[in-house]
Chains A and B, each alone.
Chain A
């Protein structure tokens, strides 16, 4: 089965630093997403991206966050100035272009620790 790839698997950073989390979605997919899951808590939607622009975002996705598709294969999440509460597992996901509720393929996540 095709896979979504995320790097790095773990990222440790100091509060206030910028981090970029990277994802390579499945090649023929057109919808891309970022989710996060704080340890022991629920999966939370952050943002969806389609046709080179944000299609939806949650309240969590404030001005500190941005997403980009810098080339034909990568999809990145940038946190400009990290806070302690940004510590979480961040999952990238992608889905095929058929419809908005198409099956999500998740990556294995990046564990972000903000110290």
Chain B
């Protein structure tokens, strides 16, 4: 049973802010929300992780509403190099994370 739902693909332009929303209606109390980025022929790379409210690091922000049934990854001022697949994962340990198809983000000049 898939734990997350996210758009299959998104387009944006350089310099724009991109928001990718993920639905996780069945999130459990112990679950965290984690986002990874993957470029073609490379391993996924950790972006950000959160439990509730807002988390920000040097590359992204993660917004989680009070009910935690969804979350939004926000990428400020994207560039062409942000073109990648972005995975939203929900779980409490790495082994039980279910990797979906992710969101293919294409940034145009």
Contacts and interface: CB of A to CB of B under 8 A. Distances in A.
User: Do A and B make up one complex?
Assistant: yes
Interface of A: 4, 31, 33, 42-45, 48, 55-56, 89, 91, 93, 95, 100-109, 111
Given A101-B92, A109-B42, 20 more contacts: A31-B94, A42-B101, A43-B99, A44-B99, A45-B95, A45-B97, A45-B99, A48-B95, A55-B95, A56-B93, A91-B44, A93-B94, A95-B94, A101-B93, A101-B94, A102-B94, A103-B46, A104-B46, A108-B43, A111-B41
Place the interface of chain B in its size category. 20 to 34
B49 interface: yes
Prevailing SS type, chain B contact patch: mixed
A48 B95 CA distance: 7
Given A43-B87, A101-B92, A103-B46, A109 B97 contact: no
